[in-house]
Structure 1
Amino acid sequence: MTLMPNPVIRLDAQDNVVVARIELPEGTPIAHEGLTTLQPVPLGHKLAARFIAKGEAVLKYNTVIGYASEDLPPGTWMHSHNIAFGDTERDYRFGLDYVPTALLPAEQRATFQGIVRADGRVATRNYLGVFVVGNCGATVARKIANHFQASQLAAFPAVDGVVPFVHEIGCGMEMTGEPMDLLRRTLGGYIKHPNTAGALVIALGCERNNIHGFFEQQGLEEGPLLKKLVIQDVGGVKTATEQGIGLIEAMLPLANQVKREPVSAEHLVIGMQCGGSDGFSGLSANPALGAAVDILVRHGGTAILSETSEIFGVEHTLTARAVTPQMGQKLLERINWWLEYNRGRDTQINGRVSPGNNAGGLANVLEKSLGGAKKGGNAPLMGVYEYAHPVTARGLVFMDTPGYDPVSATGQIAGGANLIAFTTGRGSCFGSLPAPTFKLASNSPMYRRMSDDMDINCGQIIDGEKTVQQMGQEIFQRLLAHASGEKTKSEDNGLGEDEFCPWQIGVLA
């Protein structure tokens, strides 16, 4: 059997585990580490680099990812069967490690071809949206949007499409309080998003999320590019569909009156996601995206890190570099909310990662968080936002969201993200609108297997072909290209309209 010069990856000199670069059969000698595999080790999984005593901390990136549940000789396959999940001591150092980013002068910042709205906001896409305040209007919204196929849009080349944004709530829920406020600010964030040129908002007419109350709370006013349509008021589904088509037809010429022009990279707002992670995600795709984020931040742009339950265990690396101690404390408060919310439940923050994550080499949430947080690079933490609130700070910020990708990305887009960068090790078919998703593969075998879905192969880092910094520079250039209108694989595949998923919290009755 022919092996690479070094079939394992050592991440830190202090680590007592190494990561298998390729699948390693039992009895494979690892000369660089002076050991031999005692069991088969799947690609991306860990093996003991020395003797690890029962109860001893297991170190990856010189960070505790659990504790040995038994004595482990060198060469032992290390995974959830012999790594026990447990709490770790963390020094939060609120704001003590904060170092301001050295921003490039305005004239030296990168540019992309953006769409500048009348109020100065910058878009990366140009869509018309058909929204519903409650699920009862979903069929009408889809019928209206589906009318506008390529032939109907041919005369409007600057319009990227007509998209239905439907969801499953809006009725049978509390009329006031955080659940309704969250739904309304999510819908409002999408309607007011720079990538939304115009919007038609549909109601059945009797929803608890009343369309008129929604408009008033969100400060929305009807105009040529924003219209209401109440199905009960116009006579039913058929009439509402016909009227809705007419309203969108009237918007198309107005939405088409845009052109792309050079704008500073400071107008880029990137939402970061990782889904279907594996043992390589924290070694390649995530740190490479983090390197791109550091470049973006120096150019004045913004990156949104999220998935609160998936930074648990490494949140202290963010609180330490928060712009103020209060900002770091705000992040810890969100972590504590999730710990209480999940108390006693079989969920990720309590150690249980998904079957796909586990098969990919991740033993528990501590290990997953260690890799996931690397998407944020080394920039200081400039803001902490609750779900779907408008992101106003520049630089690296955090938005509190669940770890479930469609819900998390929906909150980021509602907050203003105009691109989504999605890392994956197992493979993902996710897409989003009106802000498109581009996907970064953590390993080359999966990239080749799912080349129709993956935009960038960060597995080149694992293969020894590129460094993290080289990959980060490539990702940054692709960010600019996609922001300028270059289609992503998810756009080519027609993904995005079914991934609009506002967070459902609170009472449903």
Structure 2
Amino acid sequence: MYSPTEEQALKQPAEPPARPHVRVIRLHPDDDVVISLDQLMSGTHIASEGVDVAGLVPPGHKMATRAIEPGQAVRRYGQIIGFASQPIRAGQHVHTHNLAMGDFTRDYAYGADSKSSPKAAEPATFQGIVREDGRVATRNYIGILTSVNCSATVARAIADHFRRDIHPEMLADYPNVDGVVALTHGAGCAVDPDGEGLAILQRTLGGYACHPNFASVLVIGLGCETNQIPKLLATQGLSDSARLRSFTIQDTGGTTRTIAHGIEQIKAMLPEANKVQRETVPASHLVIGLQCGGSDGYSGISANPVLGAAVDLLVAHGGTAILSETPEIYGAEHLLTRRAQTPEIGHKLIARIRWWEEYCGRNGAAMDNNPSAGNKAGGLTTVLEKSLGGIAKAGSTNLVDVYEYAQPVKAHGLVFMDTPGYDPISATGQVAGGANLICFTTGRGSAYGCAPSPSFKLATNTALWERQSDDMDLNCGEVLDGTRSIQELGARLFRMLLDTASGQPSRSELHGYGQQEFVPWQISVIT
């Protein structure tokens, strides 16, 4: 028997369960989707959109805010990210099962949004290393480059002799030398000696050979390869000197003698390399390569815009930022052509887009083979969506020049370098062009370095920061958490980049990343 009170309670309707507090982000008034910050469960009401969730929407993914018919454009950032491949109901998850690529016209409007960029009243500074020719370094390495894969083992053996974690005594008397690194690759032979592929490799090696972050360099070959060292040096305007020495395994007398000879050459270079001292230099000497890898649905909301805010500050202080990864601006290139300082610069960018379309066409590939599996798991559906978020790294200033892969970057301001989207190849081209620091955003958790230039990594979300802070330098998830604004974190990032350029090691440097990530772009037919 129930008591009267208990019986009365049983007759009363149960309290409805408390609805979970869920968060979504609308990026533009014209968008057809919002981005989930939490797992969205079916039936959950999204008050800000007046929509009930229909199904499961993972964090970082998109939810439709209206009904969309097949073939209709879907917008995020106020821009087209694809077309509905089947009917989409309001509240449904929008992803690869119902969103696909499609052709549409983009208005390039060359230079329409070009504007005068503000200049800082008082230049920011960092502690740099000034070389004899006036160029400024952020690190002080001795480098070992190879003309061909056949000399890679010898180069690595020489560098290993000076590793501080194995032979700390070898550099004990040279505290101003950051290390000896061997940057090897898998190319250099069985290619057209007069072709574009070998020219790109030589340009890349030349850029590294004269990079200010190298106090001196050895170039080691086998001896019979297509990429002959004398021609390599001649095409790049270089020659043997106290700072740059070259030899081959065949001429030196085999592996053992070549390793011994290389070790003696490095020993002779160390005293001079150690003489450097850091001094105060303006931030205009900073050249930052912009990278994003392991991107997710938050990349274009947090880390990339934060990096863009820092880029705007860098440009205001006279510095240079290199945006790259041509296949990952595809579909969003019109946002850059509109910012081109002159129509000619905008046309140079589109010429690279057309080259890529032709390149993919003749190789049976497609420009929309992005995003990767990890990108899709993180919420990115099409290359259009990935590109629109990726361009946020470039801030808001004018595009002042466009370069081909590994060409020396001479302009100050925001520039574009044509590279593949694969991060090691892309960053290799940027460093060859003169980048003395790499800034890398990631949502999935990329582990990366890029000797001789430090690599600074930004996490897009707090969950990644907490899970993999061992590899991350800054948590941009604070933007999503509502604890910091994009501008606040952008200013903080700019200060941290100046500290990194001044010698403070990044997380990737502490872990020893950088030697294995040297990957020149190979476009040659290998015969």
Distance 1:46 1:196 in 2: 45
Cα 1:134/1:3, change in 2 over 3 Å: farther
Q: 1:142 aligns with which of 156, 169, 181?
A: 156
Deviations 1:195-244 (A, max 9, x none): 01100110111111001111111111222221112111121000010010
Equivalent position amino acid for 1:75 in 2:
G
- Contact kept in structure 2, 1:6 and 1:32, CA below 8 Å: no
8 Å CA contact retained: 1:382, 1:397: yes
Q: What is the distance in 1 between the residues matched to 2:393 and 2:184?
A: 30
State which drifts further: 126-135 or 68-77.
Answer: 68-77
Work out the number of aligned pairs and report it: 507
Q: Does the alignment pair 1:249 with 2:267?
A: yes
Mean Cα deviation higher: 14-23 or 414-423:
14-23
Matched residues in 1 for 2:124 and 2:140: separation?
22
Are residue 292 (structure 1) and residue 310 (structure 2) matched? yes
Residue 414 of structure 1 and its aligned partner are, at CA, apart by 0.1
Query: 1:24 Cα shift?
Result: 1.5
Task: Give, in angstroms, the shift of residue 5 of structure 1.
Answer: 5.5
Counterpart of 2:241 in 1: which secondary structure?
coil
Q: 1:447 is aligned with what amino acid?
A: W
Counterpart-to-counterpart distance in 2, 1:418 and 1:92: 31
Secondary structure of 1:291's match?
helix
Q: What amino acid does structure 2 have at the position aligned with 1:251? A: M
Alignment partner for residue 206 of structure 2, among 179, 183, 188? Answer: 188
CA contact (8 A) 1:200 1:227 kept: yes
The one-letter code sitting in structure 1 at the alignment partner of 2:104 is: T
Code of the aligned partner of 2:90: P
Number of the residue aligned with 1:113: 127
In the other structure, the counterpart of 2:418 is 400
How far 1:344 sits from its partner (Å)?
7.8
Q: Deviations over 1:55-110 (max 9, x none)?
A: 221111111111122222211011111112112221101122211322224xx010
The answer to whether residue 100 in structure 2 is matched with residue 84 in structure 1 is: yes
Do the aligned partners of residues 404 and 42 (structure 1) sit closer, same or farther apart at CA in structure 2, a change above 3 Å counting?
A: same
The answer to whether the Cα contact below 8 Å between 2:215 and 2:273 also exists between their aligned partners in 1 is yes
- 80, 85, 91: which one pairs with 1:64? 80
Contact 1:138 1:166 in 2 (8 A): yes
**Structure 1 residue aligned with 2:449, among 431, 438, 447?**
431
Give the whole-Å Cα distance in 1 for the aligned partners of 2:522 and 2:19.
Answer: 49
Question: Equivalent pairs: percent with the same residue?
Answer: 55
Partners of 1:4 and 1:403 lie apart in 2 by 39
Partner of 2:470: 452
**3-state SS of the aligned residue for 1:343?**
helix
1:102-181 mapped onto 2 (5 Å cutoff): 102-105=118-121, 108-150=122-164, 151=168, 152-181=170-199
In the TM superposition, what is the alpha-carbon distance from 1:350 to its structure 2 partner?
2.1
2:336 maps to 318
Whole-angstrom CA distance in 2 between matches of 1:30 and 1:13: 16
CA distance in 2, matches of 1:155, 1:16: 62
Which of 225, 230, 236 is the matching residue for 2:254? 236
Contact persistence 1:423–1:441 (CA under 8 A): yes
Q: CA RMSD in A?
A: 1.4
Note if 1:8 corresponds to 2:21: no
Q: Distance in 2 between matches of 1:281 and 1:349?
A: 21
TM-score (norm 1): 0.97
Change in CA separation of 1:222 and 1:307 when aligned onto 2, cut-off 3 Å: same
Report 1:258-407 matches (<5 A).
258-343=276-361, 349-407=367-425
Q: Is the 8 A contact 1:88 1:313 kept in 2?
A: no
Query: In the alignment, residue 136 of structure 1 is paired with which amino acid?
Result: C
For 1:68 and 1:87, locate their aligned partners in 2 and report how far apart those are by CA, in whole Å. Answer: 13
Contact 1:305/1:399 (8 A) holds in 2: yes
In 2, are the aligned partners of 1:306 and 1:408 still within 8 Å (CA)? yes
Q: Secondary structure at the match of 2:142?
A: strand
Q: 1:345 offset after TM fit, Å?
A: 6.7
In structure 1, the gaps of 5 or more residues are: none
Q: 1:204 aligns with which of 222, 227, 230?
A: 222
Residue in 1 aligned with 2:40?
Answer: 24
1:495 is aligned to 513
Structure 2 unaligned regions, length at least 5: 1-16
* Conserved 8 A contact 1:47-1:75: yes
**Could you tell me how far 1:27 is from its partner in structure 2?**
2.0
For residue 456 of structure 2, give the secondary structure of its aligned residue in structure 1. strand
Kindly state the Cα deviation for residue 482 of structure 1 after the two structures are TM-superposed. 0.4
Q: Which amino acid aligns with 1:176?
A: D
Opposite residue 329 of structure 2, the aligned amino acid is I
Contact persistence 2:19–2:44 (CA under 8 A): no
The separation in 2 between residues aligned to 1:273 and 1:305, in whole angstroms, is 8
Partners of 1:368 and 1:303 in 2: how far apart?
20
The offset of 1:276, in angstroms, is 0.7
- Structure 2 CA distance for partners of 1:348 and 1:433, relative to 1, 3 Å: farther
Label 1:346 to 1:359 Cα distance change in 2 as closer, same or farther (>3 A).
Answer: farther
- Measure how far apart 1:51 and its partner are: 1.8
Counterparts of 1:104 and 1:466 in 2: how far apart (Å)?
Answer: 23
The runs of at least 4 aligned residues of structure 1 exceeding 6 Å deviation read: 1-4
Contact 1:348–1:354 (8 Å) recurs in 2: no
CA distance in 2, matches of 1:245, 1:438: 31
C-alpha separation in 2, matches of 1:325 and 1:3: 54
Aligned to 1:54: 70
The one-letter amino acid paired with 1:465 is: T
1:91–1:39: structure 2 CA closer, same or farther, 3 Å change rule?
Answer: same
1:223 is the counterpart of 2:241:
yes
User: What's the CA shift string for 1:420-441, capped at 9, x where partnerless?
Assistant: 0001111101111000111111
Q: CA distance change for structure 1 residues 134 and 345 in 2, over 3 Å: closer, same or farther?
A: closer
CA drift at 1:2: 8.2
- Check the 8 A contact 1:426/1:446 in 2, yes or no: yes
CA distance, structure 1, for counterparts of residue 306 and residue 480 of structure 2: 11
Equivalent-residue separation in structure 2 for 1:361 and 1:326 (angstroms) = 36
Q: Is the 8 A contact 2:143 2:218 kept in 1?
A: yes
Give the TM-score taking structure 2 as reference length. Answer: 0.94
Asked whether the equivalents of residues 87 and 98 of structure 2 are also in contact (C-alpha less than 8 Å), the reply is no
The letter for the 1-side match of 2:94 is M
Do 1:321 and 1:380's aligned partners in 2 also have CA atoms closer than 8 Å?
Answer: yes
1:214 corresponds to 2:250 = no
Q: Distance in 1 between matches of 2:132 and 2:49?
A: 61
3-state SS of the aligned residue for 1:64? strand
In 1, the alpha carbon distance for the partners of 2:197 and 2:102 equals: 33
* 1:115 alignment partner, SS class: strand
